């Protein structure tokens, strides 16, 4: 049997092991993807730690959910014409047939089976198996490494923008705007017509936001002294919190204007912050949770990249042997945008 290189874990929270394993074969309803690149962001660390599922029966597991590659084999029931198609992987293992999926609400699937890279192997390998439903086309002409940002780092902000109903001319502040999702959230909000401010604590990230992307950058190490851009009258219409700490969430709620929306994306355990019903009613505020994205929104994200309205930011491109160095940057909070494992 033909072998392939991969990185996998044998215990949740355990180290990555560089191994050679048999090349997988697609079963009914599946495709095999020859992986070209796999995005590296904070979520993959959460997967490795068992935060998105820690069933011992899933082990050993190859992580990596943001991968791009070319379909090279299909199982029974899959159109053989898909061989040769460049695809991105959809993170959630959904049924595609329940009322939520049929309504275009894939991330709320009633028969949700878990996550790619957790319940099934992901893209830290030369080849990966996907349900055909999870293999979504990449627009022609988009670089495969850049495309690793489409299914999560850009499609998740597209979901946020639609969920928060961001409108042209609104003021949108993004907390954690230099990270993998944040740096694309700021761009997506602008693509929806908003006036955007990116909040972060790393000077290099703030400089990149302003110099390379033309987005107003705000240093946010002290929320007690934080000032929004001039002309915003001290308030925002939408605040997207990618930090998820009580101080950032509390600051966000206190700095929303009338009809403002706070969007939460983090899922840290035991994090709470006070919410006043009086404040919600008097200013007609909304606190929203935003869960990943839909397969339709992955298509929208691809269109944003293809048109040039959103620029993928992949600051590190590494080989399999160097993946752990990107993980360390993520833990330190110094990685600009996304990293990518490039085969």
Phi, psi of 330 (to 5 degrees): -65, -45
- Same-domain check for residues 243 and 191: yes
The pLDDT tens digits of the residues spanning 190-213 come to 999 999 999 999 999 999 999 999
The whole-number pLDDT of residue 35 equals 98
**Rounded Cα gap, residues 223 and 220, in angstroms:** 6
Query: Could you give the dihedral angle defined by the CA atoms of residues 222, 326, 343 and 27, in that order, rounded to the nearest 10 degrees?
Result: -80
- Containing domain of residue 240, as a range? 165-289
- Same-domain check for residues 114 and 211: no
- Same-domain check for residues 128 and 214: no
- Same-domain check for residues 262 and 123: no
- Same-domain check for residues 63 and 118: yes
- Whether residue 83 is predicted with pLDDT greater than 90 in this model: the reply is yes
| Domain CATH code at residue 251 | 3.40.50.720
Written as six digits, the tokens of 208 are 């990149």
- Same-domain check for residues 234 and 129: no
- Same-domain check for residues 107 and 226: no
Q: Across residues 35-64, what is the average pLDDT?
A: 97
E strand or H helix at 280, and its extent? helix 277-283
Let me know if residue 158 belongs to a domain: no
Number of domains the chain is built from: 2
Question: For tokens 């709470």, what's the residue?
Answer: 272
Sequence-distant (6+) residues with CB within 8 A of 322 are none
- Same-domain check for residues 26 and 118: yes
Work out the pLDDT band at 1, boundaries 50, 70, 90.
Answer: low
- Same-domain check for residues 135 and 242: no
Residue 89, helix vs strand vs coil:
strand
- Same-domain check for residues 128 and 226: no
- Same-domain check for residues 101 and 80: yes
The pLDDT tens digits of the residues spanning 231-264 come to 999 999 999 999 999 999 999 999 999 999 999 9
| Domain CATH code at residue 298 | 3.90.180.10
Let me know if residue 157 belongs to a domain: no
């Amino acid at each position: 049997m033909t072998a392939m290189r991969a990185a996998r874990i044998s215990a949740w929270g355990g180290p990555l092991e560089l191994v050679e394993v048999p090349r997988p074969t697609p079963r009914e309803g599946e495709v095999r993807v020859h992986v070209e690149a796999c995005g590296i962001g904070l979520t993959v660390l959460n997967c490795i730690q068992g935060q998105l599922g820690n069933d011992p029966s899933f082990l050993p597991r190859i992580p990596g959910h943001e991968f791009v590659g070319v379909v090279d084999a299909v199982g029974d029931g899959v159109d053989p014409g898909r061989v040769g198609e460049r695809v991105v992987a959809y993170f959630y293992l959904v049924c595609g047939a329940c009322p939520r999926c049929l309504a275009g609400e894939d991330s709320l699937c009633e028969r949700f089976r878990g996550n790619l890279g957790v319940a099934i192997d992901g893209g830290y390998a030369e080849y990966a198996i996907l349900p055909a439903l999870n293999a979504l086309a990449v627009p022609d002409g988009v670089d495969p490494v850049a495309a690793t940002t489409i299914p999560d780092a850009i499609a998740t902000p597209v979901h946020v923008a639609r969920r928060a109903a961001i409108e042209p001319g609104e003021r949108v502040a993004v907390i954690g705007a230099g990270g993998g999702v944040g740096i694309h959230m700021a761009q997506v909000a602008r693509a929806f017509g908003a006036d955007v401010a990116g909040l972060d604590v790393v000077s290099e990230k703030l400089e990149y936001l302003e110099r390379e992307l033309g987005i107003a950058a705000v240093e946010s190490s002290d929320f007690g002294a934080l000032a929004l851009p001039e002309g915003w009258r001290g308030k925002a219409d939408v605040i997207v919190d990618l930090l998820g700490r009580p101080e950032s969430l509390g600051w966000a709620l206190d700095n929303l204007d009338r009809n403002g929306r706070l969007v939460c994306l983090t899922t840290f355990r035991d994090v709470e912050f006070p919410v006043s019903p009086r404040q919600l009613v008097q200013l007609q505020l909304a606190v929203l949770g935003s869960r990943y994205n839909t397969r339709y929104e992955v298509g929208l994200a691809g269109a944003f990249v293809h048109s040039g309205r959103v620029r993928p930011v992949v600051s590190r491109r590494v080989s399999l042997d160097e993946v752990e160095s990107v993980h360390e940057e993520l833990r330190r909070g110094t990685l600009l945008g996304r990293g990518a494992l490039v085969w």
